[in-house]
């Protein structure tokens, strides 16, 4: 066999591999064990509104909570973005309560929140039962529906009843 014939590869002359200077761990050594799941509702928050908004933030929403909005316009928080969604063209003002069907509170919310400048849609969310992951996911889906569903865009103020198993009842106001 000739050594360097033109057109043929020189298989017997493979260069030696260089020795690595630094120790580099293997891929299986880099994997860390999964972190324990975070508690659904941090124990430092006692009221329901803050717990729900904290759960939405953990799911990727951009939320602003302001005591002035709550005192002046009865809006607990304003949602600007939901995970994997574009920045909302119109922010949604959200009022969260555990009293279901309290018409005096609903009428007060409608009167006060309609005066708030810069808020496009308004959502009055009534929570039935304890806060659960399904309930937070359903509330996130309700916010997405307010932005993208043409039927929901026709009205400015909506009332939803969110159950702990993720079921939602829609009521126009």
Q: What is the pLDDT of residue 1?
A: 52
DSSP 173: -
Query: Is 28 a domain residue?
Result: no
pLDDT tens, residue by residue, 93-149: 888 888 888 899 889 988 888 888 888 888 999 999 888 888 888 888 888 888 788
Q: Say if 12 falls within a structural domain.
A: no
In a domain, 5, yes or no: no
Q: Which two tokens stand for residue 152?
A: 């929901």
Question: What is the structure's pLDDT at 48?
Answer: 77
Would the pLDDT of 92 be above 80? yes
Classify residue 160: in a domain, yes or no.
yes
Give CA–CA dist 38/170, Å, rounded.
31
Give 14's Cβ-side CA count (13 Å radius): 5
The per-residue pLDDT for range 21-72, each reduced to its tens digit, is 556 666 666 666 666 555 444 444 347 778 788 888 887 778 888 777 877 8
Give domain status of residue 157, yes or no: yes
As for how many domains the chain has, the answer is 1
Pair 162, 134: CB distance under 8 Å: no
| Total-model pTM | 0.67
Q: Which residue has the tokens 């891929």?
A: 27
- Tell me if 156 is assigned to some domain: yes
Tokens of 24: 């580099």
Within a domain: 26: no
Residue span of the structural domain in which 100 resides: 50-172
E-strand ranges in the chain read: 62-65, 77-81, 92-97, 121-128, 157-163, 168-172
Instruction: Indicate the helix (H) or strand (E) that contains 79.
Output: strand 77-81
Within a domain: residue 97? yes
């Amino acid at each position: 066999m000739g050594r360097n014939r033109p057109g043929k590869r020189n298989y017997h002359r493979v260069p030696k591999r260089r020795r690595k200077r630094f120790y580099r761990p293997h891929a299986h050594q880099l994997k860390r064990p999964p972190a324990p799941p975070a508690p659904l509702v941090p124990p430092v928050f006692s009221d329901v509104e803050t717990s729900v908004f904290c759960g939405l933030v953990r799911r990727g929403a951009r939320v602003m909570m302001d005591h002035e909005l709550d005192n002046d316009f009865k809006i607990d928080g304003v949602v600007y973005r939901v995970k994997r969604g574009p920045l909302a063209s119109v922010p949604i003002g959200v009022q969260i309560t555990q009293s279901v069907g309290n018409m005096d509170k609903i009428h007060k919310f409608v009167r006060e929140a309609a005066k708030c400048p810069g808020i496009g849609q308004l959502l009055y969310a009534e929570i039935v039962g304890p806060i659960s992951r399904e309930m937070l996911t359903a509330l996130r889906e309700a916010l997405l529906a307010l932005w993208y569903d043409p039927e929901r865009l026709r009205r400015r103020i909506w009332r939803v009843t969110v159950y702990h198993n993720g079921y939602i009842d829609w009521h126009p106001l």
